Structure 1
Amino acid sequence: MSYAQLHAVAQKQAIPVSLKILFDTVTRITGAEVQVRAVPTVSGSSRVRGAYLKPGDNSWLAGQFGGHPCILIASGQSDPAKRFAQVKELMHVFDDAYDHVGTADDFEVLLEQLTTPPAFDKIAPGVMSEHLAVYMALGLLCPEAKRQEFARELNNGKIKVEEIADALQIPVSVVHILFGEHTSAIILHCVRHYC
């Protein structure tokens, strides 16, 4: 499976980048047995906006989808939040096996560590994967040339954060990540690592 291939496709797209193109490309590059579907659901936690169920997960919920990977999206979110959550969760198809959370207890530890970072030597499996998935998703939803254009316009006062969010159809709350000091380097690392 190759994030690099998916990233290359996304770089050629107009904004807002089509979810259908992203999902279809993932299906094409990962093989016929991998089908990713987004399904609205009600979450038991306000911190959970989406979840990725990996193939072979033995939970009763994964069984409802015939063993195919599935993305569950919490209902009650804005359309931009749902859109971002779908793409962010889609990035977990590129995770290594040890990045996945296997039990409900592990999931609770992951949630806690995402909101209150632990000491470096106590990071739960999957925490880094969650952070990288945000950057990977943004690397798809905002092609690099457009990201650089937005950065120039934002620095020159020609565009507002809300206008960028509207153009990309993503939540305002994640736009600042696009312009972080290390964003390009992190996305490039993901392109090189998940190739």
Structure 2
Amino acid sequence: MPSDYKKLYEFCQELTPDIRRNDIKNKVLDICDQRSVRVIITTMNTAIMRGAFLGPKSGHPYVENSGVPYIVLARGLNYCWERFIFIKELMHFFDKEEEKTTSVVFEPLLDSFSSPSSLEERSPIYLSEIKAVWMAIACFCPEENRLKLKNDLLNGHIDEYGIALKLKMPAQHIRHLMSDKFEAIIGSLTE
């Protein structure tokens, strides 16, 4: 049986290059058997984080009181960043039990992002953040279109910023989308 994320990835392959976040949201909710997700826009230090996912078992009062998961987005993000962070936080619906963030582990998780020590072993929760970024990147561009854009990039017909504008995603993630490791990473996430 395919992984739940693989179902989403395959769904995204059928979308046009102009991918709408609500199409992805609706498919994630369907795959994960969730009725809805709410969004809160609030002030946060974007040097540390741009968003958060308050899942069904997060223990957060908003979720406890409403029974609905929340995506928290930083106020002031531009359109591309808000869209990307929204999709990235949606990817946490696919987290395994040991990857889910609760209010108890949230502060230590933030500390691990800003900690200068790279010698510590990364927790499953930390690794789920990395996976969520790659999963979101893959949702923005069907593979056929990605390969065409990569060819255009290599031949000098477009630059990374031009690709970012076409896909309406932050330019800093285009290098991941065009990376030679992309197919292997997405392959491991869709097993």
**TM-score scaled by length of structure 2:** 0.89
Q: Deviations over 1:24-75 (max 9, x none)?
A: 11122222x44223332222563111100110332223235x1212111111
Q: Please tell me whether the aligned partners of residues 54 and 69 of structure 1 are also in contact (alpha carbons under 8 angstroms).
A: yes
Deviation, structure 1 residue 93: 0.2
Q: Work out the CA distance in 2 between the residues paired with 1:117 and 1:82.
A: 29
Within the alignment, does 1:5 sit opposite 2:7 as a pair?
Answer: yes
Cα pair 2:59 2:102 within 8 Å, conserved: no
Q: What RMSD in Å do the two structures reach over aligned CA positions? A: 1.9
Residues 152, 42 of structure 1: alpha-carbon distance in 2 compared, 3 angstrom cutoff: same
Q: What percentage of aligned pairs have identical amino acids?
A: 29
Q: Deviations for 1:97-148, whole angstroms, at most 9, x for unmatched residues?
A: 11022235x323323333446325x323311111111111011111111111
**Partner of residue 50, structure 1:** 51
Q: Does the 8 Å CA contact 2:40/2:72 hold for their aligned counterparts?
A: yes
Shift in CA distance, 17/5, structure 1 to aligned 2, threshold 3 Å = same
**Long gaps (5+) in structure 2:** none
Work out whether residues 84 and 169 of structure 2, in 8 Å CA contact, stay in contact via their aligned partners in 1.
yes
Q: TM-score, normalised by structure 1?
A: 0.88
Gaps of 5+ in 1: none
Contact 1:57 1:67 in 2 (8 A): no
Question: 1:190: how far off?
Answer: 0.9
Distance in 1, Cα, partners of 2:160 & 2:29: 32
Q: Which residue number corresponds to residue 107 of structure 2?
A: 108
Alpha-carbon distance in structure 2 between the residues aligned to 1:118 and 1:124: 12
Separation (CA, whole Å) in 1 of partners of 2:103 and 2:39: 21
- After superposition, the Cα gap between the structure-2 partners of 1:162 and 1:44, relative to the gap in structure 1 and judged at 3 Å, is closer
5 Å-filtered alignment, 1:2-151, equals: 2-31=4-33, 33-44=34-45, 46-64=47-65, 66-103=66-103, 106-115=105-114, 116=116, 118-119=118-119, 122-151=121-150
Aligned-partner Cα distance in 2 for 1:92–1:84: 13
Aligned partner of 2:81: which letter? A
CA distance in 2, matches of 1:30, 1:45: 29
1:149-184 C-alpha deviation (Å, 9 max, x unpaired) = 111111100001111001110011111111222111
Residue 175 of structure 2 aligns with which residue?
176
AA aligned to 1:22 is I
Partner Cα separation in structure 2 for residue 135 and residue 62 of structure 1: 26
Post-superposition shift, 1:88? 0.5
